[in-house]
């Protein structure tokens, strides 16, 4: 880190020392004992502009307080059958770790339907995964490796994405906005797999640095950074294409029966049991307004698929 960025961190740290006590408390939940790394993330997200990074961080902390994010891991989605249906329609899971120790999250962009529950449940579920990653998984890895582990990688599976399903992008955009404004720079790299062969990948420069579009299911490229056991189930075969579920639910990192989701749901139930009253119903989290400074991966993907549809003369409902 250069002198200029060092100075920016010091300036932002001084500003954060002056915020009110409630903001300082929730900031501790965010940085988990590593404030410098958190300040760096917000500075990177705002191109090292200290005042913009300060506003972004304070806005994020206020959002956490207003939406009770610090207690979101005490709010199980019940009954469990509802949560299972969410897992079947919001395809995301932890498949393993890279050789450098970063968590590998798989996201089924093409086959997530978001049609089994209200938007509030899907946003709540997504935030719970984020918070579990940041407050349980990453601190555990930090202790294991003796160095701060504060980011992850994501493998985005485009299998099955249809032009008619682009309406789902509204849900993805909401989730992406939550991430951009409140969990910035948490993803080291996005690996996009099972994309149409004419996918041009003309990303904006800031996004392009973090996105790698791989051939087919991306297995060979991903094996350079992770072991076979950490590959998402849809990357464990030659060529492109994947099924929504693999042969066993244990291998399918999207499934509620996968160890990651069992541990996550068990953790939330345990946290809830420590409270006198389990809060029922979904958590209505406000979705922040998108910031023009942010380039969302999902918006680039949407533009790509719309362009492909126009080039093919495809009609809604046909796979691209």
Per-residue HEC secondary structure of the chain comes to CCHHHHHHHHHHHHHHHCCCHHHHHHHHHHHCCCHHHHHHHHHHHCCCCHHHHHHHHHHHHHHHHHCCHHHHHHCCCCCHHHHHHHHHHCCEEEEEEECCCCEEEEEECCCCCCCCCCHHHHHHHHHHHHHHHHHHHHHHHHHHHCCCCCCEEEEEECCCCEHHHHHHHHHHHHHHHHHHHHCCCCEEEEEEECCCCCCCCCCCHHHHCCEEECCCCCHHHHCCCECHHHCCHHHCCCCCCCCCCCCCCCCCCCCCCCHHHHHHHHHHHHHHHCCCCCCCCCCCCCCCCCCCCCCCHHHHHHHHHHHHHHHHCCCCCCEC
So what's the pLDDT on residue 249?
55
Q: For residue 198, give its domain range.
A: 89-236+250-258
The answer to whether residue 155 sits within a structural domain is yes
pLDDT at 180 over 80: yes
* Domain CATH for 183: 3.40.525.10
So what's the pLDDT on residue 281?
62
Same domain, 225 and 153: yes
Q: How confident is the model at residue 11 (pLDDT cuts 50, 70, 90)?
A: very high
So what's the pLDDT on residue 271?
92
Same domain, 94 and 229: yes
Say what percent of the chain tops pLDDT 70. Answer: 81
Q: How confident is the model at residue 8 (pLDDT cuts 50, 70, 90)?
A: very high
The answer to whether residue 156 sits within a structural domain is yes
Q: What is the pTM of this model?
A: 0.88
So what's the pLDDT on residue 148?
95
Same domain, 254 and 113: yes
Q: How many domains does the chain have?
A: 2
pLDDT in tens, 128-173: 999 999 999 999 999 999 999 999 999 999 888 776 666 677 788 8
Q: Specify the length of the chain in residues.
A: 320
Find the mean pLDDT for residues 230-238. 88
pLDDT in tens, 205-218: 666 778 898 999 99
pLDDT at 1 over 70: no
């Amino acid at each position: 880190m250069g002198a200029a960025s060092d100075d920016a961190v010091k300036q932002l740290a001084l500003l954060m020392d002056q915020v009110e006590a409630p903001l300082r408390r929730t900031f501790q939940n965010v940085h988990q004992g590593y404030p410098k790394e958190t300040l760096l993330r917000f500075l990177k997200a705002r191109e090292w502009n200290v005042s913009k990074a300060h506003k972004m961080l304070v806005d994020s902390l206020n959002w956490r307080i207003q939406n009770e994010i610090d207690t979101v891991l005490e709010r199980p989605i019940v009954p469990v059958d509802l949560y299972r249906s969410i897992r079947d329609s919001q395809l995301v899971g932890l498949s393993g770790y890279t050789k450098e120790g970063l968590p590998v999250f798989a996201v089924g962009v093409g086959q997530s339907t978001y049609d089994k529950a209200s938007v509030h449940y899907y946003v709540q579920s997504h935030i719970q995964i984020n918070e579990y990653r940041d407050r349980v998984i990453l601190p555990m890895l930090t202790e294991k490796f003796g160095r701060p582990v504060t980011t992850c990688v994501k493998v985005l599976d485009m299998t099955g994405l249809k032009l008619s399903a682009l309406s789902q992008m509204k849900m993805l955009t909401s989730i992406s906005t939550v991430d951009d404004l409140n969990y910035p720079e948490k993803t080291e790299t996005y690996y996009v797999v099972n994309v149409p062969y004419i996918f041009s990948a003309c990303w904006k420069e800031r996004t392009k640095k973090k996105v790698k579009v791989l051939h087919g299911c991306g297995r060979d490229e991903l094996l350079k950074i992770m072991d076979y056991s950490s590959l998402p189930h849809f990357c464990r075969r030659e060529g492109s294409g994947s099924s929504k579920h693999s042969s066993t639910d244990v291998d399918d990192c999207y499934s509620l029966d996968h160890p990651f989701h069992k541990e996550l749901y068990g953790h939330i139930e345990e946290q809830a049991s420590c409270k006198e009253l389990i809060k029922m119903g979904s958590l209505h989290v406000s979705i922040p307004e998108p910031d023009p400074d942010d380039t969302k991966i999902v918006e680039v993907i949407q533009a790509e698929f719309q362009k492909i549809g126009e080039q093919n003369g495809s009609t809604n409902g046909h796979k691209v």
